Amino acid sequence: MRLSEATREEIRRLAARYPVARSALIPALLRAQEELGWLPPEAQREVAELLDLPVEAVAEVASFYSLLFTEPVGERVIQLCTNVSCLLNGAEVIRRHLEERLGIRPGQTTPDGRYTLRIAECLAACDQAPCMIVGTERYGPLTPELVDRILFGDGERR
Amino acid sequence: MTERVLLRHVGVPGQEDIETYLRHGGYEALRRALRELSPEDVVEMVDRSQLRGRGGAGFPTGRKWKFVPKDAPVKYLVVNGDEGEPGTFKDRTLLEGDPHLLLEGMILTCYAMGIRKAFIYLRREFYQAYRKLERAIAQAYEHGFLGERILGTDFSCDIVLHPGAGAYIAGEETALLESLEGKRAMPRLKPPYFPAVMGLYNQPTVLNNVETMCCIPWIVKHGPEWWLAQGPPQLYSVSGHVNRPGVIEAPLGTTARELIERAGGVRGGRRVKAFYPGGTSSRPLRAEHLDVPLNHESLAKLGSMLGSGAVIIMDETTDMVQVIARVCEFYREESCGKCTPCREGTRWVTQILDRILHGRGRMEDLDLLESIARNMTGTCFCPLGESVPPSLRAGLEDFRDEFVAYIRGARTPVEMPVRIREGILAPGG
Ligand code: SF4
C-alpha cells in the first residue's frame, strides 16, 4: 500500500507548519491512516522518509497512541466510553448490546470488515453519558434502541 | 445566581462563526489591546486579575507568565486541549460552543508575551471541536486577526492546530510537549527546567489550558477589577446521577448540593451516596459533605481537591467497588509505563479489585490495597500515578463494608441502568 501523491504532498505541507518537522509526525500518521484505514509498516516507512526520521521513531510513536492503528480496523471504528459517568449511566448495558448486535468483543472487527469495537477511556462527554464515537461522530446519551438506529437504521449519519 | 461570563455565548446558535462572535463583541478586547495597551499592560492586567490556571493545578497565570524570560528571541504558546480526566468536559464545551473566544485569548496572550507562534494541542477525540477550530482559525486569518501585521500593527502571530492521537497522559504538560515534538507522550523531569524556561524545542513556553485562555479576553475587555468583582467565574462539569448533566458556571465555593439542584436534582429523586468533587483523581466524598464549599482549601482539609472542577454525583444505588475499580482501571490503561510504582501499582491494584468483584477476594486484600496505596503516594513520577490512592483510600475507609460484602460473597456486581432521557440524539462529535 502506497500513499497517494496528494497525501504525500499534504504531509510535506504539514511538516512546513512546524519549526521542527518531526512535530508533524502525529498529524502525518493520522493523514496516512485516513487514506489507508490503518498504518501498515510500509506506510510508516513512507512517513519516516517524508519527515526524514528513522523508521523506529515512527514505529515507537505509532504503537504508543491508542488512535493510531498498527493493525487493520473496520470501516467504522466504534469507541464506546465505559468510564465512571458512563458506567453510572449504563455503559455496560450498551457494551453488551453492541457485542450482541455485532457478534464481536471489544478489540475485534466484524467478519464483514464493517465495524471495529473498542472501549474508550473518558471521551470528555460525560454530559452525554453513556456515549460513543462512531468514526468521527459522537452520540449520546445512548440507549440500545438508539445504538441500533445509529448503526443500522435511519439514525445513521453519512 | 450570578451572570454567566465564560459560558455567556455557549449555546448561542452560530457562535462558532466569526460574524456571530463579532456581533457579541468578539475581538474587541484584541482591538483595544493593540490600540491602547502595551504588552506589559496586558500581563499586568492578567496578574492583577489573580486568574489561576484552570487545568487543575490552579497556579496563578500572571506569575507563570512572568517566569518566561523577557528577552528570549523565540518563545511559544501551547494550549492544552487534551482534557480527559473522567468527569471533565468543560473545555470541550467551550471549544465547541465558543471557539473564537479561545483564539482571541491566545492572540492576546501572544501579544502580551511577544510570541510569534502558538499551538493548540487538541485531543483526537474532539473531532467536532477540531472542525470548528479549523474553520475559526481560517476566519481569523481572513479578518486580519491572525497572520502578518495584525490589524495593521507590527504584531504578527500564527496559530497551528495540532491533533493528539489518544493518550490521556499527553494532558500532563511536559508529556504534552514531548507529544507535540513528535514523540511518545512521556513526562519530563521537572525541575530542573519548567516549560516557562525550557519548553517546546527547549525554548521558553507559555503553557495554559483552554479555560484559562478563554478568561483572557474578558479580563482585557473589562479590566481586572471587574473580573475580581465577578467572583471570579468557575466552571464545574456536573455529571453522573443528575437529571441535567452539564457545565455549570458558579462561584468558587459553591456546594455540591447547590450544583445538584442546578443540574435538575438527583435522578429519580434518590438520595446521594457519594461524589467526586474534582474528577477521579480527587478523593470521593460521602453525602455528609454535600454542603462543603467546593474550593481548594475546604477540599484539601478533607483530603480531596477541586482539580478541574469535575463533580460526579453517585446516588444511593451506586456500587462503590465497581466505581473505584473502574477508576483504577482507567489509570492502568493510561499509565505511560515510565515509572515502576505507577506501571506496576495500577496493574496490581486492578488485579486485586477484579478478584474482589468476582467473589474471589480475601480479607487480606484490603490490607494489601492499603499498602499499595501508601507505596504509590509520593513515589510516582507524575500526577497520573498519584491519582490512584485517593479513590482507594476512600474505598477502604469510607465504603469498607461494601468491599467486605463482596469478599464475604454477599454481593455480586449489578449492571447499572441506562439513563432514559428525552430527545436523545446528541449533535455529532
Ligand atoms: S506516574 Fe504513571 S504516567 Fe506518570 S510517568 Fe510514571 S508511569 Fe508514566
Q: Which class for B187: exposed (0-12), middle (13-18), buried (19 or more C-beta within 10 A)? A: buried
Q: Residue B170's closest chain A neighbor by CA?
A: A65
Provide ipTM, 2 decimals. 0.95
* Interval A50-71: pLDDT, tens: 999 999 999 999 999 999 999 9
Tell me if chain B has a CB within 8 Å of the CB of A154: no
Q: Cell for A28? A: 502525518
- One digit per residue, the tens of pLDDT, for chain B of length 429 reads 456 899 999 999 999 999 999 999 999 999 999 999 999 999 999 999 999 887 767 789 999 999 999 899 999 999 999 999 999 999 999 999 999 999 999 999 999 999 999 999 999 999 999 999 999 999 999 999 999 999 999 999 999 999 999 999 999 999 999 999 999 999 998 877 889 999 999 999 999 999 999 999 999 999 999 999 887 788 999 999 999 999 999 998 999 999 999 999 999 999 999 999 999 999 999 999 999 999 989 999 999 999 889 999 999 999 999 999 999 999 999 999 999 999 999 999 999 999 999 999 999 999 999 999 999 999 999 999 999 999 999 999 999 999 999 999 999 999 999 986 644 444 444
Would you tell me which residues 57-76 of chain A have a C-beta closer than 8 angstroms to some C-beta of chain B?
57, 60-61, 64-68
**Ligand 1, CB cutoff 6 Å, lining residues:** B 169, 187, 335-339, 342-343, 380-382, 384-385
Tell me if chain A has a CB within 8 Å of the CB of B18: no
Q: b or e along B59-83 (b: 16 or more beta carbons within 10 Å of the residue's beta carbon)?
A: eebbebbeebeeeeeebbbbbbbbb
Contact state of B163 with A30 under an 8 Å Cβ cutoff: yes
Distance of CA B237 to the CA centre of its chain: 9
The best mutation among B342, B347, B377 to test binding of ligand 1, ranked by most ligand atoms within 8 Å of the C-beta, falls on B342
Ligand 1 center to B335 CA (angstroms): 5
| Cα gap B237→B92, rounded to integer Å | 10
Shortest Cα distance, chain B CAs vs residue A32, angstroms: 13
Q: Residue A30's closest chain B neighbor by CA?
A: B165
SS3 A77: strand
Q: Cell for A89? A: 449511566
Give the nearest partner residue to A64 out of B167, B245, B420, using CB atoms: B167
Shortest Cα distance, chain A CAs vs residue B223, angstroms: 32
The best mutation among B173, B179, B336 to test binding of ligand 1, ranked by most ligand atoms within 8 Å of the C-beta, falls on B336
Distances (CA, A) of A39 to A20, A32, A62, B118, B163: 23, 7, 8, 29, 17
Tell me if chain A has a CB within 8 Å of the CB of B384: no
pTM (2 d.p.): 0.95
Q: Cell for A126? A: 460525560
Q: b or e along B321-349 (b: 16 or more beta carbons within 10 Å of the residue's beta carbon)?
A: bbbbbbbbbbbbebbbebbebbbebbebb
Contact state of A17 with B92 under an 8 Å Cβ cutoff: no
Shortest Cα distance, chain A CAs vs residue B86, angstroms: 5
**Which long-range contacts (C-beta less than 8 Å, at least 24 apart) are formed by B9-16?**
B9/B97, B9/B98, B9/B101, B10/B93, B10/B94, B10/B97, B10/B98, B10/B247, B11/B97, B12/B97, B15/B97, B15/B98, B15/B100, B16/B96, B16/B97, B16/B98, B16/B99, B16/B100, B16/B132, B16/B135, B16/B136
Ligand 1 center to B417 CA (angstroms): 34
The best mutation among B82, B85, B169, B388 to test binding of ligand 1, ranked by most ligand atoms within 8 Å of the C-beta, falls on B169
Contact state of B239 with A82 under an 8 Å Cβ cutoff: no
Ligand 1 center to A95 CA (angstroms): 29
Q: Cell for B336? A: 505511560
Shortest Cα distance, chain B CAs vs residue A66, angstroms: 5
Contacts of B175 in chain A (CB under 8 A): none
Q: Which class for B193: exposed (0-12), middle (13-18), buried (19 or more C-beta within 10 A)? A: middle
Tell me if chain B has a CB within 8 Å of the CB of A87: yes
Give the nearest partner residue to B424 out of A82, A137, A146, using CB atoms: A146
Nearest CA to ligand 1 atom 8: B336
- For chain B, the first-to-last Cα distance in angstroms comes to 30
Contacts of A94 in chain B (CB under 8 A): 418
Tell me if chain B has a CB within 8 Å of the CB of A156: no
Phi-psi region of A10 (alpha: psi -120 to 50; beta: other; left: phi over 0): alpha
Q: b or e along B99-109 (b: 16 or more beta carbons within 10 Å of the residue's beta carbon)?
A: bbbbbbbbbbb
Distances (CA, A) of B202 to A5, A17, B381: 34, 18, 20
Shortest Cα distance, chain B CAs vs residue A8, angstroms: 18
The best mutation among B168, B174, B384 to test binding of ligand 1, ranked by most ligand atoms within 8 Å of the C-beta, falls on B384
Distances (CA, A) of B242 to A93, A122, B263, B316: 19, 18, 6, 12
Tell me if chain A has a CB within 8 Å of the CB of B414: no
Contacts of B390 in chain A (CB under 8 A): none
* Interval A81-126: pLDDT, tens: 999 999 999 999 999 999 999 999 999 999 999 999 999 999 999 9
| Cα gap B362→A45, rounded to integer Å | 50
Phi-psi region of B178 (alpha: psi -120 to 50; beta: other; left: phi over 0): alpha
Number of CB atoms found within 10 A of residue B4's CB: 14
Beta bridge partners of A118: A79
Q: b or e along A74-87 (b: 16 or more beta carbons within 10 Å of the residue's beta carbon)?
A: bebbbbbbbbbbbb
Closest CA to A43 of A30, A32, A54, A27: A32
SS3 B415: coil
